[in-house]
Amino acid sequence: MRRIAALPPAPQRAAPLQGLGYRGMRITGDPAVSIVEIVVSGGVVIVRDRNGAERVLQDTGRALERSLVGLATATLDPAEMSVLRQELRE
């Protein structure tokens, strides 16, 4: 959360990936907290709160996304990890 808090706002037209294939990482947490979802996708981070408000932040070089994929290594199967790594290389 500290890393996300330090991210700068994204440029106005920045948008997450939406096509077929890997579209990014989605973090959901305790419904009791004010932030209900964080989407980290293609250099953009979207933080959604309980009231439906959104903050759109910039993930320069997809650094945050890469570190989340690193965290997921233990739980994803090798074929899924291969797709993720390939997408992140592009």
Partner 1 sequence: MLRITADMFSGRPDPISDITEENEVRVLLREVESNRNLFLSKAPAEAGLGVRGFRIEPLNDEFERDLGVDSTLYLPVGAQARGSRAAEIGERLVTLMERGAPFSSGAAAQPLDASLREFLIAQLSAPSQLSVTDRPATAEVDAEAEQHSEEATAAAACIIELGKFNPGFWNNDSTVRSRNNCYNYASNWRTDTFAQPGLGCGSVYKAFTRAELTRASLCDGMHHRYNCFPDSEKPRPLVALVIAPGIDFHWYRKQVEGFWGHKPGSYPARNTDNSGNVINDPEKANRGPYTEFCGYFYGCISQARRIR
Q: Can you give the binding site for partner 1, defined by CB under 8 A?
A: 18-23, 79-80, 83, 86-87
* Least separation in angstroms between CB 59 and partner 1: 19
Token couple for 17: 């990936």
Q: Least CB distance from residue 30 to partner 1, whole Å?
A: 19
Ordered alpha helix ranges (H), the chain:
2-5, 63-72, 78-89
Which one, 73 or 86, has the nearer CB to partner 1?
86
* CA 90/CA 77 separation, integer angstroms: 21
* Closer residue to partner 1 in complex, CB, 39/68: 39
Least distance CB 89 / partner 1 (angstroms): 13
Nearest residue (CB) to partner 1, 16 versus 67: 16
Rounded to the nearest 10 degrees, the angle between the axes of helix 63-72 and helix 78-89 is 170
For the four alpha carbons of 62, 63, 65 and 69, in that order, the dihedral sign comes to positive
